[in-house]
């Protein structure tokens, strides 16, 4: 196997990738389904304030990088949360509330309007949801809990910025900081939930726990379904960032189910210091990456793959890549200050990494070749967040999100 390793980028082609012509059903035990994606879309599209986020064409950048086109899905405008994460945690909280109401009032399938009207206020208020987060997932769970009326306790690890912790607290959650890295905080949340009888709403699956994270992933599929509706033909390549892989697996499954043999080549990108999929792909089985997982891409600082995501990505990914932080920071600035006619876009450190990888092909023809990029390539990038930490955003880009889009 050839592994490219230069200038802050590493990449290899996944030897286990299924062929384009292989069907999604060839993935043994894949937990994500059209039915689950349909249900999430049906539910979330009725939430107040829902609207599909924009897909922008970056014409200048495509010409500069020598590809046919670059489309950028901009999640900076997703509900009040500025990231696709709003679709997952909050949806899982809503599903829990629905199930709890159905237990207390047999035969009742509460709608979002029922819950928001306060009709089941007491039943909802009796629930406490909790999770560990590196920022965005906890914000979504807290937002869902506040919107629908239940209690919420969120655990953050040491390197989560104060800005991100404050943003979670602003949605009414109790925020507790714990020692260790993200994976330690996941274990801590689980222990606390057992002690207090709370429900963990995690975005990662683990032994004996998958129903709720599968709801989270079906919620993320709403974003991918929007892309399918926004693109008349499938792109040839999609670059997707991975932390625990729930987002990437939801995108992979949605595109596979929608586009079948026409689905894009799937390129998975992670920070150099938190590359659990890259390492797992090499080993052919899940491998944990230990340590502080230090990266500016806060949402991707995860050392362990979600097993349900791994089951799908193991066969659905065509190439694994890792990237130095610098590329993501460069991409943030480039998106904020584009050359005409490209629009100015607000993207956080984790949101801009797909473009960061694309920028790396300018310096590495080997990478370009390995990823199969050429003048005919139609590339999709998922801008998964906006300025989820405004202070960090301003320190990188030199201007605030408001100034960038003014």
Out of 235, 245, 303, 307, the residue judged to bind ligand PLP by CB under 6 A: 245
Q: Whose Cβ is closer to ligand PLP: residue 83's or residue 295's? A: 83
Considering only residues 336-355, where is the footprint of ligand PLP by CB under 6 A?
A: 350-351
- For position 67 contacting ligand PLP by CB under 6 A, the verdict is no
Q: Whose Cβ is closer to ligand PLP: residue 299's or residue 356's? A: 299
CB 284 to ligand PLP: min, Å: 20
Q: Whose Cβ is closer to ligand PLP: residue 100's or residue 136's? A: 136
With contacts defined by CB under 6 A, name the span among 37-45, 166-174, 296-304, 334-342 that binds ligand PLP: 296-304
CB 269 to ligand PLP: min, Å: 10
Distance CA 39, CA 98 (A): 13
CB 211 to ligand PLP: min, Å: 17
- Give residue for tokens 């709720």: 212
- For position 246 contacting ligand PLP by CB under 6 A, the verdict is yes
In residues, how long is the chain? 406
- For position 134 contacting ligand PLP by CB under 6 A, the verdict is yes
Out of 226, 311, 342, 385, the residue judged to bind ligand PLP by CB under 6 A: 385
CB 168 to ligand PLP: min, Å: 12
Considering only residues 82-101, where is the footprint of ligand PLP by CB under 6 A?
A: 83, 85
With contacts defined by CB under 6 A, name the span among 49-57, 245-253, 317-325, 393-401 that binds ligand PLP: 245-253
166 flagged as catalytic: no
Burial degree of 126 (CB within 10 A; 0-12, 13-18, 19+): exposed
Q: Whose Cβ is closer to ligand PLP: residue 100's or residue 241's? A: 241
Distance CA 222, CA 229 (A): 11
CB 11 to ligand PLP: min, Å: 18
Out of 247, 255, 266, 315, the residue judged to bind ligand PLP by CB under 6 A: 247
Catalytic residue among 71, 74, 134, 325, which?
134
Name which of 318, 396, 397, 323 is nearest 357 in CA terms: 323
85 flagged as catalytic: yes
Q: Whose Cβ is closer to ligand PLP: residue 242's or residue 371's? A: 242
Maximum pairwise Cα distance, the chain: 62
- For position 53 contacting ligand PLP by CB under 6 A, the verdict is no
Distance CA 385, CA 346 (A): 8
- For position 213 contacting ligand PLP by CB under 6 A, the verdict is no
Catalytic residue among 85, 190, 311, 342, which?
85
- For position 299 contacting ligand PLP by CB under 6 A, the verdict is yes
Considering only residues 190-209, where is the footprint of ligand PLP by CB under 6 A?
A: 203
The 222-241 site mask, x for binding ligand PLP (CB under 6 A), equals -------------------x
Binding footprint of ligand PLP on the chain (CB under 6 A)? 83, 85, 134, 136-137, 203, 241-248, 299-300, 302, 350-351, 384-385
Active site residues: 85, 134
């Amino acid at each position: 196997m050839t592994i490219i390793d230069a200038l802050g980028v590493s990449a290899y082609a996944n030897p286990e990738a299924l062929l384009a012509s292989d069907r999604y059903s060839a993935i043994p035990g894949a937990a994500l389904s059209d039915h689950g994606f349909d249900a999430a879309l049906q539910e979330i599209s009725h939430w107040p304030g829902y609207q599909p986020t924009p897909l922008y064409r970056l014409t200048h950048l495509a010409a500069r990088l020598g590809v046919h086109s670059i489309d950028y899905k901009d999640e900076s405008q997703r509900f009040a949360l500025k990231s696709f994460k709003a679709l997952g945690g909050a949806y899982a909280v809503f599903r829990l509330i629905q199930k709890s109401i159905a237990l207390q009032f047999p035969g009742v399938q509460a709608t979002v309007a029922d819950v928001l009207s306060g009709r089941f206020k007491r039943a909802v208020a009796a629930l406490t949801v909790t999770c560990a987060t590196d920022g965005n997932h906890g914000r979504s769970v807290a937002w869902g809990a506040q919107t629908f009326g239940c209690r919420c306790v969120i655990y953050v690890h040491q390197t989560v910025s104060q800005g991100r912790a404050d943003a979670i607290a602003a949605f009414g959650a109790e925020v507790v900081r714990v020692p260790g890295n993200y994976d330690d905080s996941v274990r801590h949340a689980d222990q606390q939930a057992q002690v207090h009888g709370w429900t963990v709403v995690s975005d990662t699956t683990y032994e004996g726990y998958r129903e709720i994270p599968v709801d989270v992933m079906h919620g993320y599929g709403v974003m991918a379904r929007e892309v399918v509706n926004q693109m008349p033909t499938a792109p040839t390549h999609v670059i997707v960032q991975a932390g625990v892989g729930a987002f990437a697996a939801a995108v992979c499954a949605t595109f596979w189910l929608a586009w079948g043999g026409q689905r894009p080549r799937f390129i998975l990108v992670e920070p150099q210091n938190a590359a659990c999929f890259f390492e797992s792909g090499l080993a052919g089985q899940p491998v944990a990456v230990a340590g502080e997982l230090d990266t500016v891409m806060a949402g991707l600082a995860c050392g362990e793959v979600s097993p349900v995501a791994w089951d799908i990505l193991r066969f659905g990914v065509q190439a694994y890549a890792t990237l130095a932080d610098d590329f993501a920071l460069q991409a943030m600035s480039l998106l904020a200050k584009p050359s005409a006619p490209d629009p100015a876009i607000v993207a956080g450190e984790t949101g801009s990494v797909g473009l960061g990888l694309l920028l790396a092909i300018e310096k590495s023809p080997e990478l370009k070749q390995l990823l199969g990029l050429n003048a005919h390539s139609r590339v999709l990038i998922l801008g998964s967040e906006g300025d989820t930490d405004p202070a960090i955003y301003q320190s990188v880009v030199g201007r605030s999100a408001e100034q960038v889009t003014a």
